[in-house]
Amino acid sequence: MITSPAWKDKKYAVLGLARSGKATLDALMMSGASVKAWDSSGEVRQSFCEHFLEESYPEDTLILFPGMDGTLQLVDPLTLDLTGYAGVVVSPGVPLNTHPIKPHADSFGVPVIGDIELFAQARTDLPPHKVVGITGTNGKSTTTALVHHILKEVSVPTTMGGNIGLPILEQDPLPEGGVYVLELSSYQIDLTYSLDCDVAVLLNITPDHLDRYDGDFGKYAASKSRLLSLQTAGHNSIARFTDARVLGQFAEGSIASILEDVLQNRGFTPSEQSNWPSLQGPHNRENAAAAIEVCDILGISGEQIRTGLKSYPGLAHRMERVAEISGVAYVNDSKGTNTAASAPALAAFDNVHWILGGLAKEPGLGECEAELGHVKAAYTIGKAGPDFAALLDGRVPVEQCETLDRAVSAAAAKAEAGDTVLLSPACASFDQYADFEKRGDHFRALVDGLI
């Protein structure tokens, strides 16, 4: 666990007791902080106490946890006088544009922060290390995991966290020379003020999560690009030329790399991508380019990087090859939750039987429009299914299936050897599934049932 003497004897409020919230409470109390914590779910609050002490406590009771110097009370921070508090630590899931905690904290001059900001504050007390921060609308999980994989392959002490894997504060500090690789959502960037990444990557920006930014794409883009503006002179920034030109958020004195130029400048050719089995498609070429540049900056040789690209196993639900049955490939890209994310998956294959639909994030086909030449037939599901069917009618054969099981059955019946059945919904999952992972797991189970 990452702790810090910077938090000792200070007061914090923590809102949200899910995974990152629990890790935050552990870290703060192990460091000797006084914490007031809350979750909107009473069941979560009680299970939290039972998790630590195997018994329940009345709310507002001061709790002394064995082996910890700090204290905890379960109190709603909206009821507190926050004078003198060092921060209100909220889960990234708390919408700052609508939740009352932000104006309440502001009225006392108390910053609203997240666990990434606490990690940033703890860095001065950790063994000498570097931090790589990776953001972007699409591709950040793959790029984060790829950088982490390449570093592990050459025995660099490394861990990954943030929006992927274990909460960063829950992890053990790395030894000297270690590299923390952080996937960062816009929400997490909104909640940090001092994260100065040694290498910061902005992969791309397309409309997403606009409900958190009052429907304003400019606000969303500015949130993403803050990662670059937080850097100090001499640190490295990586972004696409098109995004960098529009945003202009490189910190003064930072060393900027342009993503489009990486392969050529680092001695790689686009044809080498055929040697990277889990990194197919134009979007993964861009993800690989970002990882190549990060690792080059960190001193990894070109041949070591090539070895890591070849051995990278890929991530579940991101162009995951589930099976090949009678010559038909079945690919789970459930993480394709918007049209910009699904378009590269379509571009990566020919003769695609495309399963799409769910809870749409934007109207129309977006960037998928340009890739319809790869689509042999489409099968729509979920709330957005009828709209997608209308958009595709007359352009590709389309069948309204409503549910994923019907779509998989229909696609399997029509697909021929050499075709690809691709789940890349271009939509969120919440109309029919708890999350994109559950949707992808269901697809995987349905495909297993075909064998």
Whose CA is closest to 237, among 283, 293, 292, 190? Answer: 293
Whose CA is closest to 371, among 402, 349, 394, 390? Answer: 349
Q: Are 138 and 277 within one domain?
A: yes
Q: Which two tokens stand for residue 34?
A: 């006084």
Please compute the mean of the pLDDT values over residues 220-235 and round it to a whole number: 91
Dihedral over alpha carbons 94, 96, 100, 103 (to 10 degrees): 140
Distance (Å, whole) CA 319 – CA 273: 15
Q: Are 202 and 254 within one domain?
A: yes
The mean of the pLDDT values for the chain is 91
Q: Are 219 and 344 within one domain?
A: no
> What is the pLDDT, as a whole number, of residue 86?
98
- Residues 41-88: pLDDT tens digits? 887 777 776 655 545 555 555 555 545 566 778 889 999 999 999 999
Does residue 262 sit within a domain? yes
- Residues 382-408: pLDDT tens digits? 999 999 999 999 999 999 999 999 999
- Residues 183-199: pLDDT tens digits? 999 999 999 999 999 99
Does residue 1 sit within a domain? no
Q: Which two tokens stand for residue 127?
A: 């063994």
> What is the pLDDT, as a whole number, of residue 251?
77
Q: Are 63 and 167 within one domain?
A: no
Q: Which two tokens stand for residue 126?
A: 């950790």
Distance (Å, whole) CA 124 – CA 110: 22
Q: Residue 108: give its domain's CATH number.
A: 3.40.50.720
End of a domain among 66, 97, 113? 113
Q: Are 151 and 295 within one domain?
A: yes
Number of domains within the chain:
3
Q: Are 107 and 133 within one domain?
A: no
- Residues 343-383: pLDDT tens digits? 989 998 999 999 999 999 989 999 999 999 999 999 999 99
Q: Are 122 and 101 within one domain?
A: no
Whose CA is closest to 323, among 206, 216, 214, 421? Answer: 421
CB of 33 closer than 8 Å to CB of 8: yes
Whose CA is closest to 36, among 82, 88, 8, 72? Answer: 72
Distance (Å, whole) CA 127 – CA 335: 35
Q: Residue 304: give its domain's CATH number.
A: 3.40.1190.10
Residue 234 has pLDDT above 60, yes or no: yes
Q: At what angle do helices 282-297 and 140-153 cross, to 10 degrees?
A: 50
Does residue 416 sit within a domain? yes
Radius of gyration for the chain, computed over Cα atoms and rounded to the nearest angstrom? 23
Does residue 340 sit within a domain? yes
Q: Are 159 and 261 within one domain?
A: yes
In single-letter form, the type of residue at position 62 comes to L
CB of 339 closer than 8 Å to CB of 362: yes
End of a domain among 50, 84, 113? 113
Does residue 283 sit within a domain? yes
28 CB-side CA count, 13 A = 27
Does residue 217 sit within a domain? yes
Does residue 88 sit within a domain? yes
> What is the pLDDT, as a whole number, of residue 346?
95
Q: Are 122 and 108 within one domain?
A: no
Q: Are 39 and 141 within one domain?
A: no
Enumerate the β-bridge partners of residue 89.
Answer: 14, 113
CB of 159 closer than 8 Å to CB of 304: no
| Statement: the pTM of the whole predicted model exceeds 0.85 | no
Q: Which two tokens stand for residue 132?
A: 């790589």
Residue 441 has pLDDT above 60, yes or no: yes
Q: Are 305 and 401 within one domain?
A: no
Residue that wins the pLDDT comparison between 21 and 378: 378
Does residue 2 sit within a domain? no
> What is the pLDDT, as a whole number, of residue 293?
98
Is residue 155 classed exposed, middle or buried when 0-12, 13-18 and 19+ CB atoms within 10 A define those classes?
A: exposed
End of a domain among 113, 140, 159? 113
Q: Which two tokens stand for residue 2?
A: 């990452």
Distance (Å, whole) CA 429 – CA 120: 33
CB of 228 closer than 8 Å to CB of 256: no
CB of 411 closer than 8 Å to CB of 421: yes
Q: Are 18 and 145 within one domain?
A: no
304 CB-side CA count, 13 A = 17
- Residues 102-139: pLDDT tens digits? 999 999 999 999 999 999 999 999 999 999 999 998 88
Residue 40 has pLDDT above 90, yes or no: no
- Residues 245-286: pLDDT tens digits? 666 667 778 888 999 999 999 999 999 999 998 898 888 999
Please compute the mean of the pLDDT values over residues 141-170 and round it to a whole number: 95
Q: Residue 355: give its domain's CATH number.
A: 3.90.190.20
Question: In which domain, by residue range, is 129 found?
Answer: 118-311
